[in-house]
Structure 1
Amino acid sequence: MSLIVVPLMAAIAMALIVGAILRDSRPTACPAIGWIDGVDISLTGNAAKVASLTICDGAGCVPGGVSASAAPTFGTGSVTRQSDTIWHYDVGMNNPEWITVQAADAAGAILAQKTFMLNWKRVGGSEQCGGPAMTDPVVLAIP
């Protein structure tokens, strides 16, 4: 009897091990989703002088005017003015490691420029599929 039971138990154990390995090795199916991450830029000092911001990251530069009416385009950066002191930079699903913010007056004169390192934290989704992220606001002092 033990000649039948021992091999049978070994076969069942092996089947369970192989099943567990195969289950863990299958790729995760992620839902078709998208999101737009962004960075808030807070202006201090003479923020009323600022007519536009230009923001550069590793992918290039995006100019922004005074109007917040233009809707951001999915997957590309856009800069909009939210209030007298708050601007917003939409980065789509691309989270740059750094941005350089340049503030200009109505005549185009550069008022201030600074590079900021960004620390993105995922706030939704999953580790396997990704998800929306946020970073702390950056502060640009306008003399």
Structure 2
Amino acid sequence: MVRLRPFACLALLLPVLLPVAGCAKTCPAMAWINYLTVALDGDTRTVAWVQLCTPDACSQAADRPTAPPVLPTATPTPTGANGLGFPPGQGPAEHHISVERTGSDAWRFGFVVESPGSVTVRALDSAGKTLAEKRVSLAWQQIGKATECGGPATAAPVTLAVNA
């Protein structure tokens, strides 16, 4: 009879636990990429690439190979200009910004799960000289169906005017 006691307790608690477990919303462990498009306007003949920066990181040139981001260690090392062990212009992997050129005057930037409130966009020549720069506030709109769990979002395209 002692062996039946745990089963009897379970039988009494089961009607109480099932409704509570049935109402719980669990989100799958997933990541997504939020995208922002930057279009250049004006004399773009000398633009080699477009860079986008958040307070945490900057994108790298799309046509230049980049080293994988360096993750911080428990003891920061002075290898990067920022004193955190990162190469200058790079942050930890979770703040890495992807970039791809989608047209002659268009670029698409991706943020893994992040949706920064503002960014600085720069058009650069082949020597890295800034030809145009603009700080922009962003409003993100979710484009996925699973709003309870988050999901991909996009911001309105940014236009950067380049003068000769």
Alignment of 1:46 with 2:40, yes or no, is no
* Higher-strand-fraction structure: 1
- Unpaired segments ≥5 residues, structure 1: 1-17
What SS does the corresponding residue of 1:53 show, helix, strand or coil? strand
Q: CA deviation at 1:97?
A: 0.6
CA distance in 1, matches of 2:65, 2:158: 22
Alignment of 1:116 with 2:104, yes or no, is no
* 68 and 83 in structure 1: CA distance in 2 versus 1, 3 angstrom threshold: farther
For each residue in 1:17-49, what CA deviation from the matched residue of structure 2 results, as whole angstroms up to 9, or x when unmatched? Answer: x88x9468x542112332211110000001221
Q: Percent identity?
A: 31
CA RMSD of aligned residues (A): 2.9
Equivalent residues in 2 for 1:1-143 (5 A)? 22=20, 27-65=24-62, 67=63, 75=94, 76-143=96-163
Q: CA deviation at 1:91?
A: 0.9
The answer (yes or no) to whether the contact 2:57–2:97 under 8 Å persists in 1 is no
* 111 and 101 in structure 1: CA distance in 2 versus 1, 3 angstrom threshold: same
- TM-score normalised to the size of structure 2? 0.64
Q: Figure out how many residues of one structure are paired with residues of the other and give that number.
A: 123
* 126 and 77 in structure 1: CA distance in 2 versus 1, 3 angstrom threshold: same
CA distance in 2, matches of 1:116, 1:46: 21
The answer (yes or no) to whether the contact 1:123–1:132 under 8 Å persists in 2 is yes
- Unpaired segments ≥5 residues, structure 2: 1-15, 70-92
